[in-house]
Chain A
Amino acid sequence: GQQLNQSPQSMFIQEGEDVSMNCTSSSIFNTWLWYKQDPGEGPVLLIALYKAGELTSNGRLTAQFGITRKDSFLNISASIPSDVGIYFCAGNPYNNNDMRFGAGTRLTVKP
């Protein structure tokens, strides 16, 4: 099936720095979503994108649905310690109901 390539695998940053992570696919996706997962919890939705070119913000988070429908990025501005966690991109492939997830980006924020 379609695979999502998420990068980077991990990031170590100082509090206050901006963060950027992205996801690419070899196939077209209908939706792109970004989730955050804390240890022992299920993923929590951060941002959902439904249209190519869409740029959406949620507080310090901004995400975009790529024009080609094969990629998306997530930016976090002015990181804080509670941003620590694993961030996953996910999406629905074209004409497909199931959700595909990337392997995740593990974010560590040093105070």
Chain B
Amino acid sequence: GAGVSQTPSNKVTEKGKYVELRCDPISGHTALYWYRQSLGQGPEFLIYFQGTGAADDSGLPNDRFFAVRPEGSVSTLKIQRTERGDSAVYLCASSAQDLGEQFFGPGTRLTVL
């Protein structure tokens, strides 16, 4: 389809492990966003890319979280030494321009046991 896709849809991992979450934005969208959504809460901003560069990473909770977008399209959110508190749905969104309307993917549900 033409929407934002995210893989995997579900990820179960053990405490201390490393995980990678992938986002494929809508083709041609230059801006890409990562959010984290805990149960019963709204999405919480993590990081925003404009092209290949991270324009704003102020929402990353700590240095265990890192994201890349090497070619300005697909992005990977990387979490090292996962903790149980990292369990959440990780949402990706893209937009055609800075501050433009964001289109969300279905999310990756991460469970850290």
The interface of chain A, by Cβ under 8 A from chain B, is 4, 6, 30-31, 33, 35, 40-45, 48, 88, 90, 92, 96-104
Which B residues between 40 and 58 are near A, CB-CB below 8 angstroms? 40-45, 48, 55-56, 58
A-B interface contact total, Cβ < 8 Å:
60
Are B101 and A48 in touch, CB under 8 angstroms?
A: yes
How many Å lie between the Cα of A43 and that of B55 in the bound state? 23
The interface of chain B, by Cβ under 8 A from chain A, is 4, 33, 35, 40-45, 48, 55-56, 58-59, 91, 93, 98-99, 101-107
Are A97 and B55 in touch, CB under 8 angstroms?
A: yes
- Known interface pairs A92-B99, A97-B99, A104-B41; A42-B107 also in contact (CB < 8 Å): yes
Are B56 and A40 in touch, CB under 8 angstroms?
A: no
Give B89 Cβ to nearest chain A Cβ, in Å.
Answer: 9
Give A107 Cβ to nearest chain B Cβ, in Å.
Answer: 15
Give A40 Cβ to nearest chain B Cβ, in Å.
Answer: 7
**Closest partner residue, chain B, to A106 (CB atom):** B40
Are B41 and A42 in touch, CB under 8 angstroms?
A: no
| Further contacts, 10 of them, CB under 8 A, given A42-B107, A45-B101, A97-B56 | A30-B99, A43-B43, A43-B91, A88-B42, A96-B56, A97-B55, A98-B33, A99-B33, A101-B35, A104-B42
- Known interface pairs A97-B48, A98-B48; A42-B104 also in contact (CB < 8 Å): yes
How many Å lie between the Cα of A42 and that of B59 in the bound state? 19
Are A31 and B99 in touch, CB under 8 angstroms?
A: yes
